[in-house]
Amino acid sequence: METHSINLGKNKKLKVAILSLPENDFRFPIIGTLIITKYIQENCSDIIVKLIDNTFDNLHLELEKFKPDIIGFSTFTQSYLDAISFAKKIKQKNPQIKIIVGGPHITTLPDSLDPIFDFGVMGEGEQTIIELIKSIKDKKRFEEIKGLIYYKNNKLVMNKRKEDSSDINNLFPLNYNLLNKKYFKKKFIPEIYNFGTTVGMMTSIGCPFDCRFCSIKACWKIIRFRDLDSVVKEIKNLYFNYKVRHIDLFDDLFSINKERLKTLREKLGKEKLLGKITFSCQARANTIDEEMCQILKSLNVKTLVFGFESGSDRILKYIKKDDQLSIKSNQKAVLLCKKYRLNVYGCLMFGIPGEKIDDLKKTIEFIDFCKKNKVARLWVQILIPLPATEIWEIAKKRGKIKDNIYELIPDVYQKDKPLMLDSDVPLDEFVKYYNLAKKKCRFFVYKTFIKTISNNPLTVFYFLKESLFYLKRFFNFMKQ
């Protein structure tokens, strides 16, 4: 794309639409798009901005009504082809619309920017997109905008990357009025075996660890924490103004700092909110001990989500790059959570480099351990390589990926294409053990629904009312 200016009519305000593209089976808003929309609204008073969300909105219909001059959205590697296809449909209807793409894929693989996009944004995009929108509006040059990618004279121009801000507090608290109101309707909350109003939020960005398969470090170099007064203010807003009674904390690792969580508990107590809202959060096995469980329990955390990854000590230490982790530490975390009546969710991966049949059998054994010790939910996926990770580099050396990797990456449940499976492991044997693991993990899903209905029989009427939605989720589950 060569022409980036927009011709606005007299006294016409520039319109910007920020989109959430993926349909969200769990009906949680995408925090990144909410941050970007809020940031534009606060920093561009002469611009009209709207968040349009594919979870509840018909994107094409809403875009026709809104008639934006600029569209922005983010995408992952797995959905990059879908993003390209969507952009082409938009351009066919209105070639003048400027399309900006950001997110993990463009951040980690900027050379893959398709010419259908007018601009790509690398890294944290809030400041970059503000500068870009103002430059488009005022017909200024783009060379000095950090974090920007675009085509000029049919050549890809990649500006200097923007440094991550050390302070994330200017991004929060979020403006939930920007969301579709359907997000705040009562819905099934598996983490608490009930239904009610729930939403997701973040108290930190980033992770201090560096797992071989994870691209978080490429997107966010360091972990940064929000000011806890801002966190409590946001929780208070959700509780009183949106009737939220459960919050899913999207922090990559919530259980990282005991003293911070104690302070959060104290501040919630002062606001008389302690115990009134339940929480779910992500944890890591070697951050879980008696004291951490006590703190989480006192905060009214109900569910902890772990990346268990493998039932093999050797594979676990390799993939997580952490000798402090072991099957024993994973099992200890499960047993401690069981002692404190904290629900455990966990993810396991198959098809890890170096994984042998014996390692797959050990993962099956770990699933049996979890079933015996009343883990609430467990699921298995196929490892796929993501850009800017060590697994990605291994895939390149093995000749598994090319420049257009996004055309080759299979789904995380596509058992017949485990890209990272070692060649000496027979595919039919791998599929046999993967199918066995999936079959065993179905038990946890059924148990969740049964326990929910036994806890609150009225939930049956809710499921009947939302039957089409849950039938769709059920068929997606069975297809996987």
Question: What CATH number corresponds to the domain at position 109?
Answer: 3.40.50.2300
Residue 167 included in any domain: no
Query: pLDDT class for 2, splitting at 50, 70, 90?
Result: very low
Judge contact between 382 and 351, C-beta under 8 A.
yes
Q: Which two tokens stand for residue 342?
A: 């904290």
CA nearest to 378, candidates 341, 344, 355: 344
385 and 426 share a domain? yes
Residue 58 included in any domain: yes
Average pLDDT over residues 271-275: 96
Q: Which two tokens stand for residue 226?
A: 């929000």
257 Cα distance to chain centroid: 22
Query: What are the CA-CA distances from residue 353 to residues 96, 326, 357, 394, 410 (Å)?
Result: 46, 18, 12, 8, 16
For residues 321 and 308, give the distance between their C-alpha atoms in angstroms, rounded to a whole number.
Answer: 13
273 and 189 share a domain? yes
Query: pLDDT class for 476, splitting at 50, 70, 90?
Result: low
Residue 386 included in any domain: yes
DSSP characters for 288-354? --HHHHHHHHHTTEEEEEEEEE-S-HHHHHHHHT-TT--HHHHHHHHHHHHHTT-EEEEEEEE--TT
Q: Look at residue 119 and give its three-state secondary structure.
A: strand
192 and 153 share a domain? no
Query: What are the CA-CA distances from residue 73 to residues 17, 30, 252 (Å)?
Result: 9, 11, 22
190 and 320 share a domain? yes
308 and 412 share a domain? yes
For residues 392 and 373, give the distance between their C-alpha atoms in angstroms, rounded to a whole number.
Answer: 35
Mean pLDDT of the chain: 90
Query: pLDDT class for 401, splitting at 50, 70, 90?
Result: confident
193 and 143 share a domain? no
Backbone angles phi, psi at 349, to 5 degrees: -120, 140
Report the CATH number at residue 296: 3.80.30.20
Last residue of a domain, one of 140, 158, 176: 158
110 and 202 share a domain? no
The tally of domains found in the chain comes to 2
472 has a pLDDT exceeding 80:
no
Query: pLDDT class for 220, splitting at 50, 70, 90?
Result: confident
The 10s digit of each residue's pLDDT in 285-330 is 999 999 999 999 999 999 999 999 999 999 999 999 999 999 999 9
Residue 52 included in any domain: yes
Last residue of a domain, one of 143, 158, 173: 158
Position of tokens 């326990």?
A: 451
Residue 5 included in any domain: no
Residue 48 included in any domain: yes
118 and 206 share a domain? no
264 and 313 share a domain? yes
Residue 318 included in any domain: yes
459 has a pLDDT exceeding 90:
no
16 Cα distance to chain centroid: 24
191 and 293 share a domain? yes
330 and 460 share a domain? yes
Note down the domain range covering 281.
185-479
For residues 310 and 212, give the distance between their C-alpha atoms in angstroms, rounded to a whole number.
Answer: 14
For residues 401 and 415, give the distance between their C-alpha atoms in angstroms, rounded to a whole number.
Answer: 17
CA nearest to 126, candidates 205, 242, 234, 208: 205
Q: Which two tokens stand for residue 161?
A: 């990357």
In the structure, how many helices (H) and strands (E) does the chain have? Answer: 16, 17
CA diameter of the chain: 71
43 has a pLDDT exceeding 60:
yes
Judge contact between 69 and 35, C-beta under 8 A.
no
Average pLDDT over residues 52-70: 94
Q: What pLDDT score does 1 carry?
A: 42
128 and 190 share a domain? no
Where is 102: in which H helix or E strand?
strand 98-102
Residue 8 included in any domain: no
